[in-house]
Chains A and B, each alone.
Chain A
């Protein structure tokens, strides 16, 4: 009898715990549901830098700067890299038109230092992380950029956008994909073209994509899936 009582207490506990897990907003995410709005030390306008040119109202449009002009490590490292402060200053010290705007003034406070705000000169801006993965997941930017931007010759903003969303329309970035395992696996299961016009030759690398021989479609196109082994990401 007592055993039964104890068991029911245990089961109740488990039920409460699992329903709590189910109630957590995280579980209801769809592929495109947005992450939290993250306040940044400087409200960085991505749309101004990377957005499309607006011919009618140039002041509202962007400059179509390549993502990798600032996130320069994406093509050669596991992480894309937050641009060093020097890079921001490199351009902005000669853009007189915006030098007195609040955000740029704030930028120069980090570079030149500010006594009243107690910032030493050349202090890196304490950006908040917007796209983070759990520590047991290893994502490699280089692999993806090499494949989709250089071998497939796709536009940079499209390739980055698979995971980061339409950043060129945002002010500060906001996560717009779940970045869950299902999200990654969904793409890895698709047949992607191995080569493309104007793209870098993939050579034997195609075999490494999925550790299977690339498939020749009836159309003659050579396709390969993304790797499907656990250890590719869970190293």
Chain B
């Protein structure tokens, strides 16, 4: 009886007292490490190194492709904290949460520390000499066409070296694969404006109409846009800017908007054409394209009321210049290019081109400018793989096994490659498939240069330099590895460069004059480059094409309801997780999602009405099933989503990568249908249809908001108003 009566409460009591006892006994009043800890001095100190006083170095953030310039605090040889570089035109001294987590990438306990060679299911640690010899051996007699090199977005000198390396084989198979990238918008911009990435001036606009562009959260260069947004809200000529967000799932930007319009998924272009029609100022092509998109039809198609369209037209008329943005929500459809074209056309009609959309500066070294890509590369890679074309495959800064739709069966297709080499920081899903894994230096240990794709100010080259000594002796920089591989091919051309640092220094000094170092001696210029972290280049900028061409712009009728899969599936892109490459950084797992406040997990956003219809309550584990697969996650009732759509954030659901990522949440990439944008061939990420069903399990959702959630427990802390009731004229 006594044994069985020792219940949970008593057990906790004992545990509590036990803990107190341990604490007491450990609570002497002596110093804790007297005579135990070793205290090591410098052997030959440098003047500026004072223990406990920080030294600051400039470098470049590698957490996302925005390429913010950073400033790291180093104390006693350890990097402690990153901030923005105040001289940067991109981030002007600020840094986002994702960037802050860069130190956790560096100190991550799951980093790979030795080159690993596959031996059955395990990786066997080998030396670098052996690894290099093995690569040379495997490439022996291999034709250029039989080599595939998969990378994420790249720029700067490592891109130059990579291109040279591939050229030495005559290899054209450089697949630039970015799982989450504005690839369709780039193509649409090229057509509408003549450049892929124009400079956007949110701060000069009096009205921003964003079609699902989450520029405050995860879109292109969020830190830069957030600052522009601050200025925009202060206002041009004292007139506070108005933000209208049109999307099917509320993003962080949508949550900040004055007016948030929920639109039927995929009809963003229809609304844009409807606005052009209602404005009535268009002529020629544009007018022709918008013909027939009268308010009633548009309202019926998009679900946005006629009244709202009228109000929006009034705002657009009274607020010039404005800025219309096509974001990832608009481009993720089979007709994504058309959506983006219609939205860009609206900019032309409103006369924003040349005012809030300007040509961006570009660096005078085209070979260093960014190689960008999207998911179209994946299709080509998949084709090559299934044809058994590749004998050797390299993978760097991409994780296609995790981010490709499961229906593409990339993991199986990879087995057809004779020898797979992964450059990796962690043993992620792709690295696990490799035969040889080469451990990389962290971004805070490595040398490099980069050219941001979105050029915020004057043309610039960002310098990346080590903030501290390497943590592990057997990791290498990507540039260093490339240089060794290049020496295997063309030893004569590269024999002067002992390492990547020497190459980088040599290459920069060669172009000293174009980089603002005219007249300076080499050392002065180089030291200046390193201390400032940013090199301004005398850049040029192409003029935008001013004419609005709407030729070939046709939008399909809204997709008919699918009886079997009635719901639209929206993969959410969060500011912290993006495509999931940083899921093993616990700060990012721990920081709550800005809208749902959920941590350390995935969730399914579902409209309360729909949830009531299906009998789902918060915390129900629901199964989301598409034609291509299914995932399970906790339900979260979210009023900021179209009732006919559900959303699951990307980035979670890793099967590998590390202790903080593995087994957390579900991976929505896996259930995406392999449907592509017609024009660009990019994966139509928002085109997947799903059904959801309850599994019968229920959990407590771990989140920061109170149990009453968004209802504010009936306290009316911030009064919730219908979008119709917001009086924008007071702010205008």
Contacts and interface: CB of A to CB of B under 8 A. Distances in A.
A111 B44 CA distance: 10
Given A6-B10, A84-B44, A124-B40, A17 B31 contact: no
Interface in A171-215: 175, 178-182
Interface string B717-731: 000000000000000
A2 B1 contact: yes
A67 interface: no
A234 to B, nearest CB: 15
Contacts of B45: 84, 86
Contacts of B43: 84-86, 110-111, 122-124
Interface stretch (A19-27, A51-59, A146-154, A224-232): A19-27
B432 to A, nearest CB: 38
B561 interface: no
Interface string A48-89: 000000000000000000000000010011110111111000
A82 B39 contact: yes
A76 B53 CA distance: 9
A18 interface: yes
Interface in B1-52: 1-2, 5-6, 10, 13-14, 17-18, 20-22, 24-25, 27-45, 50-52
Given A17-B22, A77-B51, A84-B42, A38 B30 contact: no
Contacts of B5: 2
Interface in B346-360: none
Nearest to B37: A129
A133 B31 CA distance: 5
Q: Which of B1, B2, B43, B51 has the most CB of A within 10 A?
A: B43
A126 B40 contact: yes
Contacts of B25: 17, 20-21, 24
A180 B29 contact: yes
Contacts of A180: 29-30
Contact of B34 (A10, A13, A38): A38
Interface in A118-141: 122-135
Contacts of B13: 10
A187 to B, nearest CB: 15
A35 B40 contact: no
A13 B28 contact: no
Nearest to B26: A21
A81 B51 contact: yes
Contacts of A111: 43
A129 B36 contact: yes
Interface in A1-15: 2, 5-6, 10, 13-14
A163 to B, nearest CB: 11
A156 to B, nearest CB: 19
A26 to B, nearest CB: 3
Interface in B378-410: none
A26 B44 contact: no
Nearest to B22: A17
B41 A79 contact: no
B31 A2 contact: no
A36 interface: yes
Nearest to A20: B25
A29 interface: yes
A123 B38 CA distance: 14
Given A27-B28, A175-B31, A2 B38 contact: no
B40 A73 contact: no
Contacts, number: 136
A152 B476 CA distance: 53
A158 B14 CA distance: 50
A132 B20 CA distance: 24
Given A82-B41, A85-B41, A132 B51 contact: no
A165 B39 CA distance: 20
Number of chain A interface residues as a range: 35 or more
Nearest to B14: A10
Given A73-B51, A81-B51, A29 B41 contact: no
Contacts of A126: 38, 40
B34 A178 contact: no
Contacts of A78: 51-53
A56 to B, nearest CB: 35
B6 A26 contact: no
B54 to A, nearest CB: 11
Contacts of B22: 17
A81 B32 contact: no
B28 A24 contact: yes
Contact of A27 (B2, B6, B14, B29): B29
B207 to A, nearest CB: 46
B30 to A, nearest CB: 4
Given A79-B52, A125-B41, A13 B21 contact: yes
Contact of B41 (A18, A84, A131, A135): A84
Contact of B35 (A84, A122, A128): A128
Contact of B29 (A20, A39, A85, A178): A178
A112 B34 CA distance: 29
A26 B41 contact: no
A86 B44 contact: yes
Given A17-B21, A17-B25, A129 B33 contact: yes
Contacts of B2: 2, 5
Contacts of B28: 21, 24, 26-27
Nearest to A76: B50
A25 to B, nearest CB: 8
Contacts of A24: 25, 28
A39 B36 CA distance: 10
A127 B41 contact: yes
B716 to A, nearest CB: 37
Interface string B155-189: 00000000000000000000000000000000000
B35 A26 contact: no
A178 B37 CA distance: 18
A175 B34 CA distance: 8
B30 A73 contact: no
Contacts of B27: 21
Given A10-B17, A13-B17, 6 more contacts: A10-B14, A26-B28, A38-B35, A73-B51, A77-B52, A125-B41
15 contacts: A13-B17, A17-B25, A76-B53, A79-B52, A81-B41, A84-B44, A85-B44, A111-B43, A122-B43, A127-B40, A127-B41, A129-B35, A129-B37, A129-B39, A132-B31
Interface of B: 1-2, 5-6, 10, 13-14, 17-18, 20-22, 24-25, 27-45, 50-53
Per CB-CB distance, the 5 closest pairs between chain A and chain B, nearest first, are A26-B28, A17-B21, A38-B35, A180-B29, A82-B41
